[in-house]
Amino acid sequence: MCKKGIAVYLRVSTTGQDLASQEPDLKAWLRGNRKGRRVTWYRDTFTGATMKRPGMQDLEADIRTGKIGTVVVWRLDRLGRTVLELLTWLDALDVAGVEFVSVRDAVDTTTAAGRPTLPCHGPIP
């Protein structure tokens, strides 16, 4: 059986910014955690005001088709702007069985300690 791949997602807001500043930490994480899995890089130069970004849409399509087992970002703010957006997206990953790592924020659902960082499914009782 083929292991599901790792998705590395990078984003900057404007063409005047550079994605390269995010790469060293992400590459360091991959060196210690890749374990022979395929790595696909998804890059956006796009506002964080919307989750409808070209790279994000490609990533979501690959998650839906089962190609991705882990999503790695440099920091949570590279993924989304609001807590609600982030929690909704992280919950969707959890439902899809996809692990999540934010290198700089020390969020890692690939570990037992990181699992409780995800929200519960549905409303708070």
Catalytic residue among 3, 8, 13, 38: 13
- Residue 13 annotated as catalytic: yes
User: Residue 107 forms beta bridges with which residues?
Assistant: 102
The arrangement of strands across the sheet holding 107-108 comes to: 39-45, 5-12, 68-73, 99-102, 107-108
The three-state (H, E, C) secondary structure of the chain, written as one string: CCCCEEEEEEEECCCCCCHHHHHHHHHHHHHHHCCCCCEEEEEEECCCCCCCCHHHHHHHHHHHCCCEEEEEECCHHHCCCCHHHHHHHHHHHHHHCCEEEECCCCEECCCCCCHHHCCCCCCCC
- Catalytic site positions: 13
